[in-house]
Amino acid sequence: MTPLPVRLVVPTCVGCGAMGEYGTCETGCIERKLELVRAAANDGVADVASRAAERADAFGAVAEALLAEAPPGEDGYRSLQVRAHAALVQHPDTDHDEEWAEPSEPAITWWCEECGGIDAPQPCLGICVWRPVEWVNRAVYEQAREQAFAERAREYRLRALLRRLATVTPRPDHWEETWSAFAADARAALMPPAQLIGARGRDAEDAGPGRQREGRGAPRAPRS
């Protein structure tokens, strides 16, 4: 039995979007629905998550200083303000959420767990032009999106905290009071990303009813 695909390359028509990898079952493939998303979309949201985590970690190092020591006086507060401002300048927000937050449309394919054949016929436009295209299981893509959302939320919380810290200067004799208030905010902002990974992802094993083809796989248009 072939393991459920996680990442794979499938010949794909650049015109109509048909996908296919010949099955080899002698007595006919028993297929099940398999949803795939282009690997480029998956890698894009994974990169967003990685960059957001890097920025959040940098902000978190400043926020943790609010919890690491007793409230200082004016000098300690102003010193941390300088660190907060430097972190914000060094790590600007360069990701545009509208470019990745909308989910990528999955391709519906039929996959044989015995031989690994894949079939996704489409209305032909004439002559199919086949190219190898990398795909990932939709469940993997959904996990990457959830990770990106979680890391971006963590970054937003910490970025907002540092912006306030960098710009709020307390009145005389209120340095420790203001530090303590920011420390309470830091505890909330430093909470780890919500463990949403897979919460909205589709269980790839729950693929629904299958179908059976006779022979060694459905015929496909010649590949050129």
Burial of 189 (0-12, 13-18, 19+ CB in 10 A): buried
| Structural domain spans, the chain | 7-201+208-212
Taking Cα atoms as reference points, which of 217, 25, 1 lies closest to residue 120? 217
Taking Cα atoms as reference points, which of 19, 4, 148, 169 lies closest to residue 79? 169
Model confidence pTM above 0.85: no
Neighbours of 109 (CB within 10 A): 21
Q: What would the two tokens of residue 167 be? A: 């710009």
Give pLDDT, residue 193: 59
At 66-90, the pLDDT tens digits run 997 788 889 999 999 999 999 999 9
Amino acid at 193: P
Burial of 44 (0-12, 13-18, 19+ CB in 10 A): middle
Output the tens digit of pLDDT for each of the chain's 224 residues.
778 889 999 999 888 889 888 878 888 888 889 999 999 999 999 999 999 999 999 999 999 999 977 888 899 999 999 999 999 999 998 888 877 889 999 999 999 888 889 998 888 767 888 899 999 999 999 999 999 999 999 999 999 999 999 999 999 889 999 999 999 999 999 987 554 333 334 343 343 444 444 443 433 433 43
At 141-170, the pLDDT tens digits run 999 999 999 999 999 999 999 999 999 999
H or E element at residue 31: strand 30-38
Give pLDDT, residue 220: 40
Taking Cα atoms as reference points, which of 212, 203, 204, 220 lies closest to residue 3? 204
Give pLDDT, residue 54: 96
Scanning the structure block, which residue is given the tokens 């499938």? 10
Strands 107-112 and 30-38, by their bridges, are antiparallel
Largest CA distance in the chain: 85
